[in-house]
Amino acid sequence: MCYGLDRETGIKSGQIAHIDKDASNSAPNNLVFLCLVHHDYFDSSTSQSKGLSPDEVKAFRSELYEDVFKSFTQKLRFGELELPASDPYAGKWIRIDSDIDSTEPNFISLPENFEGNNQYFLSGLALRHGANIDCPNLGTIEAVAVLFDDGEMVIHDDFKEDHSTTLILSNDRLQVREENECYAYGMGVTFEGEYARS
């Protein structure tokens, strides 16, 4: 429950609970480990809150099992991570298509995700300035970008569900598009545009 509700992964004191609340039914699919707080919450009946249903407990248990399985079956890399000389994304880029928007994102190669896609940590600053702008605006980006087989790199923001950023490398130029921009990276700034390697 701690993982399903709060994404907690630390060690907890707890007990084995019977999902159907029948202590004589010790079938493996009827057992779940719950921390003491969630076990008490699951076993209690309150008039003000709904508590946890057996189906919710089973769903959270399945989600935890699935994520643990993914963690233990992910390919491991040992030693230092070395960037290949031909990595087309890693390094610093500079925006070249705007006189009022200056942006300098930096890409750092990460290990593959569970699905086998390459990933990059993207960080950088965006500055909007110019003669017709009263006050310069500054924005930042810090996100993990996933590279898909079709050559598109995508950043999805879990906190801004409607917003996404897509990056496409073509002829040594990086094209960045933002969907539903809504100043996701800072007031009045955007990372959308064309980039060349720094």
Distance CA 8, CA 105 (A): 31
Strand runs (DSSP E) across 81-128, as ranges? 91-95, 101-110, 118-128
What is the reported pLDDT for 126?
Answer: 85
Q: Which of 38, 73, 108 is the last residue of a domain?
A: 73
Distance between CA 143 and CA 155 in Å, rounded? 7
For the range 143-149, what are the long-range contacts, defined as Cβ-Cβ under 8 Å and sequence gap of 24 or more?
144/110, 144/119, 144/120, 145/107, 145/119, 145/120, 145/121, 146/113, 146/117, 146/118, 146/119, 147/89, 147/117, 147/118, 147/119, 147/120, 148/117, 149/117
pLDDT confidence of residue 90: 87
Are 108 and 65 in a shared domain?
no
pLDDT digits (tens, 9 = 90+) for 150-163: 888 888 666 566 67
pLDDT of residue 181 exceeding 70: no
Most confident of 13-22, 79-88, 136-145, 180-189: 13-22
Question: 68-105, pLDDT tens digit by residue?
Answer: 887 777 666 566 655 556 688 888 999 998 877 788 88
pLDDT at 130: 64
The winner for highest mean pLDDT among 59-73, 128-142, 181-195 is 59-73
In this structure, the answer to whether residues 112 and 68 fall within a common structural domain is no
Please count the structural domains in the chain. 2
Q: Is 125 within the bounds of a domain?
A: yes
Instruction: State the pLDDT confidence band at 133, using cuts at 50, 70 and 90.
Output: low
Q: 97 and 186 share a domain?
A: yes
Question: 25-39, 137-151, 172-186: which has the minimum mean pLDDT?
Answer: 172-186
Tell me whether residue 82 is in a domain: no
Q: Are residues 117 and 56 in the same domain?
A: no
For 145, the domain range is 91-197
Predicted confidence (pLDDT) per residue in 49-65, tens digit: 777 889 999 999 999 88
**Do the beta carbons of residue 111 and residue 81 sit within 8 Å?**
yes
pLDDT at 136 over 80: no
pLDDT above 70 for 147: yes
Residue after which a domain boundary falls, among 46, 73, 100: 73
From residue 134, alpha-carbon distances to 32, 96, 140 in Å are 60, 23, 20
Tell me: do 187 and 125 sit in the same domain: yes
Banded model confidence at residue 111, pLDDT cuts 50, 70, 90: confident
- Residues 60, 112, single domain; the answer is no
Beta bridge partners of 18: 31
Residues 193 and 95 occupy one common structural domain: yes
Q: For residues 198 and 194, what is the distance between their CA atoms, to the nearest angstrom?
A: 13
Residue 112 and residue 180 in one domain: yes
The one-character DSSP state at 135 is S
- What is the structure's pLDDT at 85? 61
Radius of gyration (C-alpha) of the chain in whole angstroms: 23
81 domain-assigned: no
The enclosing H or E element of 147 equals: strand 137-147
